[in-house]
Structures are given as C-alpha cells and as structure tokens.
Structure 1
C-alpha cells in the first residue's frame, strides 16, 4: 500500500476567532493511500491547543512509512489497530484512518454510509459558524451566508448582548460555543437569557477539566450542554454522560472514523445526544464526517464552507443545508491537484 503526504495551507474567507485564538489560514495534512489502482484520502488539521502541527504529523507517519507500504490491508479497523500500536498521535492516526476508510469504500465500490448500513434520507442540518468579531462583522458574515442554524462563538465580556443583537437580524436557531471561557456561575446565569433568545444548546462553556463545575451546571442550567474539549477519546464518553447532555466528537481528536463509530454507539447506549464536529477541514475531512450524519443528532461540518478556496471535490452542502453526496464510493473524495 503506497502512502503519500502533502501539506496544504487553507485560506479562510474571514478571520476566524474563538475565545483563545484567531487565524486567517488553516494548515492541514492530506494523506493518500493507494492499493490496487484505488486511492483513498484523509485529512487532519494542525491545532495549537493540542500542540499538533502538520510537520509533527508528517514526522510520525514518515517514521513508519515502510511498515505502511508492507501492510496487508484488509479493513480500516485492523489498520487502525496497527497505527495505535505504533504510538502515533490521534491527529496523525486520523488522517490515515480517514484515507483507509475512503480507500476501503472505493475498493468495495460503495460509499461508507452504505457499508455501515445507514440511510441518508434523514439527517441533521449542519450549523454555520460565526466566529468572535465586532458585531457589524458578525452580522456581515450572517448576511453573507443565510443559514437555518448558526453556531455563535463567544467568550467575551458582552456575550449575552452579542446574541441579543444578532437575534434582531435572523430567526435562525442559535447554538453557543464558549470554548471553555465561562465559569459555572456565568453559564447558569446566561442560560435562561440565551434560551429566551432562541439558543438550542451550549457547547463546552467550562474548562475541559472542570468536572465539579459541570456537575453544578448539569443540575442548574436550563439549556442542554454539549461536551467538546472534555470529550476527546473513547474513554471520555462515559464520564461525559454523567456531566453533559451530549458529546461533540471530533475525528482529529479521537483518531478518525474507527473510534468515532464506537463513540457514537456508546453515546446512544448511554442515552445522550451525539454530535460530530469539524476542525476547519477541507472537503476531504468534511466528506468523511458526512458519511456519519444518518447516525447523529447534531452535526457541525461547515469547515469547507468557511474556506476561500478548497483543495478537493466530494460531499457538497447546498445553501439550504441539504447535503449532496457524489456518485463515488468511499467518502467520495478526489483531490483537485
């Protein structure tokens, strides 16, 4: 099995800001796995919060490239186990796992959602993310992209006022993501005010390890709270189920589609809401997420919509939120260059 890695720097339409960082470009790694004339593509973006760079991922993968070339590929799950045993970071595993699933689907001649025996007739609508910015900039972004659901990034001293002003200009559902910027007291105080403003749920308002604070929020918040930074890998699901209403699974953080499928199943067994989110990936990563949507309660897969230019074709998202699947197996991905 041949492996090829390439770094891309993805330009964003607008500066993207959350409570802890801002950026105009997103570095990403694309892994290609080729076998029997078919090529699968996977992706993982860099992330300063988790201290992951494209270069660090390339070094990890290149260190085992000879073993990958000699690997007897029969299924993504077996390949994923091999990568875990090699001690790669979850981000590096993710790009290879996504490529392996895309390759496997193409070898089987079926899209992944069919291999998993799911039906794409019903699925949740992705939100569109509005990063922290001056109000006029946030409004410009909303007018530029009319959408049925917005995820609003917060973490300022005027968060409720921001939502109140945005609400004057749209009837869309709001979801709030504070990216660990609030305290338990702020969360409990803000929740009823935000609920009145049409907010559906709060995402990760507290620091990832503030479990006592989340215990308090769980008992007193009038809005559901979804875990993100607190839910990284499979073992986190059960603890999060005791402190949150649901979980947001990120493929890059957990190590790809293989563990994500298990996390979705476990979340449903525990009776919590299940969401999958993106990390500003191109259409390569978004197309992998899209294969999961029949299994989800919520989805955040707007990464490619936030880009000034893309690097691949695959699953498309129309202006009404409808997902258009290509007539191609696997994740449906092809690189443009």
Structure 2
C-alpha cells in the first residue's frame, strides 16, 4: 500500500474489522458490495480492492470459469506489459535494464530536469518502445509540448500525467497538441472521477489499488470507451494476486503495465508466465493463481 494513498497495515486491519462479511451472499452483487464498503469509510482503496479481488476469484471458482472470461475478455488480445525503470543514475538504469530481458516495452519515470538524459541513457542500450510517466513533474506547458515532440522522435508510445493532476487546463492544452497520447494517472482514481476528464486526456491509467478492485475497474474501462478514450491498466507494487486480477481485464485495454511481481521480492505465488512480453492466462477458475500459497488465498 503506497503511503500517498493514506493506507497502512493498521488502517487495513481497522477497515476489515468494520466489514460484515456475512452480507456477501452468492450470487455476488458487486455494485452493492462496493457501495456497502464505501459506506463504512471513505478512501481505503487497496483493502477494498483486496475484498473485491477475493470475491471475484471466489466467483470464478463457483462458476468454474476464469475471471477474464466472466468479464468478456479475449485472452488472445492480451497487450504486452511494460517493465518499469525508476529515476536513477545512468549506471543504475543500464543495470536495471538487464532485468527487463523478457519484456518488449520499457516504462520510464520522468519529471525532473534530466528527462532527456534518462531517455538517452536507455536509448544507448535499448531500442524497445517506451512508456513515460512524468508524475505531474512538468510545469511549463510550452516546454512540455516541445518535450512531447522530442519524446515522440525517441519512440515514446504514451505519457502519463505530465502536469499537476489539478491543472485540468494545462493537461487539456497538451492533449490537444501532443503527438503522443496523454493519459490521466493521479487525476483519476475511481469511476466518479472520470466525467471531468472527458476531452482533457486521450486516455486513463486504471490501477486496481485505486479503483477498489476489478468490478469498478471494468466499469471505468466501459466508461472510457464511451468517451472515446484509451486505457492503460497499471499496477502499484503488487504480487501475482493483484497483477493477475489486472491481467484478466488487460485484453479489454490498449496497453498494460503489470510488472508488479517482477519488482516484488516477497511474492507468495508463482510469477505469472510471459510469452513475447505478454501475460499468458491459464484457464483455471477465478484468477488462475498457482503456487504453494494458493490455498491460503481461497480458504
């Protein structure tokens, strides 16, 4: 649970103690369940996501269907997933790129004064397509649009949250002029955030730890499509549980950034299978988790 979302082990435990799980009867009404969870306390998206994901996994097991099938996703349409490289020295970045051997796209964090240097460092060792997350780091829209054109020439496919999430006008100005799709990230967390974003961005980045799980993430995908917006499904620091939940929805999206299990040292489940940089979904019911701890999740 990332600190900036205001969650901790203590807050998650406190929230769980408020939940009356006997209310969750089958067949699960996920809209009612989410409304109930929201009524208990605002925020707490990660622990709400944990409940939603567990119930989605259980729903798949009861129906004897994989979650991707339940949500109408075609696993053959799985997009490649990116591997994230954080802001660091050129030497460390070159070393980190060695861990990305099985990936076909690199995601790079920008938003400081050395953005071009970071891209040039990556380009000195890799020609893979790039996703950029500017982390609200660009303040001058004129400089930002110049950088967008330069990044386009460097093979950048998309840019997440270039300007402050509250600067709707600035981000919309970039969206109207950028040769690269501009996506809302920090500016969108849940379904209710989306109406104000129409026309201000080319697309959105959905993360299950912000959307409170699979049900609302799917609703956000549908709404984005109705707005003519594109969708990146991303992740926080996550194990195979959450990343496979995201992967079940990924074929409904344009892009994926679900590298959590490869950046997590204490993943209690088997690392998902990749082929040609894409998740390979199995046909096991629910999330398709495997590993010696799988029974702990579903007990």
Deviation at 1:201, TM superposition (A): 1.4
Match of 1:179 among 114, 135, 153: 135
Residue 325 (structure 1) aligns with: 281
Residue 106 (structure 2) aligns with: 150
Residue 171 (structure 2) aligns with: 214
Tell me, yes or no, if structure 1 residue 114 matches structure 2 residue 69. Answer: yes
Map of 1:118-267 to 2, 5 A cutoff?
Answer: 118-146=73-101, 147-183=103-139, 184-267=141-224
Residue 69 (structure 1) aligns with: 22
State how far apart, in whole Å, the 2-side matches of 1:118 and 1:215 are: 31
Q: For each residue in 1:285-316, what CA deviation from the matched residue of structure 2 results, as whole angstroms up to 9, or x when unmatched? A: 00100110120101110000112342113x71
State how far apart, in whole Å, the 2-side matches of 1:199 and 1:317 are: 26
Deviation at 1:327, TM superposition (A): 4.2
- Which is richer in helix? 2
Q: With the length of structure 1 as denominator, give the TM-score of the two structures.
A: 0.81
Deviation at 1:76, TM superposition (A): 4.9
SS in structure 2 of the partner of residue 332 of structure 1: coil
Deviation at 1:91, TM superposition (A): 2.3
Q: Which runs of 5+ in 1 are unaligned?
A: 1-45
CA contact (8 A) 2:53 2:214 kept: yes
State how far apart, in whole Å, the 2-side matches of 1:252 and 1:261 are: 13
State how far apart, in whole Å, the 1-side matches of 2:24 and 2:181 are: 44
Q: With the length of structure 2 as denominator, give the TM-score of the two structures.
A: 0.91
Deviation at 1:189, TM superposition (A): 2.2
Deviation at 1:53, TM superposition (A): 1.2
State how far apart, in whole Å, the 2-side matches of 1:71 and 1:324 are: 31
Deviation at 1:90, TM superposition (A): 2.3
CA contact (8 A) 2:80 2:277 kept: yes
TM-aligned CA distance change 1:85 to 1:73, over 3 Å: farther
TM-aligned CA distance change 1:319 to 1:291, over 3 Å: closer
Residue 8 (structure 1) aligns with: none
Q: For each residue in 1:83-122, what CA deviation from the matched residue of structure 2 results, as whole angstroms up to 9, or x when unmatched? A: 2333353222111001110111111111011112322112
Tell me, yes or no, if structure 1 residue 276 matches structure 2 residue 250. Answer: no
- Which is richer in strand? 1
Report the RMSD for the aligned CA atoms in angstroms. 1.8
Deviation at 1:198, TM superposition (A): 0.9
Q: For each residue in 1:203-228, what CA deviation from the matched residue of structure 2 results, as whole angstroms up to 9, or x when unmatched? A: 11111111121122122323221110
- Structure 1, 78-87 or 119-128: larger mean CA deviation: 78-87
CA contact (8 A) 1:76 1:258 kept: no
Tell me, yes or no, if structure 1 residue 52 matches structure 2 residue 27. Answer: no
State how far apart, in whole Å, the 2-side matches of 1:291 and 1:152 are: 24
CA contact (8 A) 1:151 1:175 kept: yes
TM-aligned CA distance change 1:335 to 1:171, over 3 Å: same
Q: Which runs of 5+ in 2 are unaligned?
A: 294-299
CA contact (8 A) 2:135 2:163 kept: yes
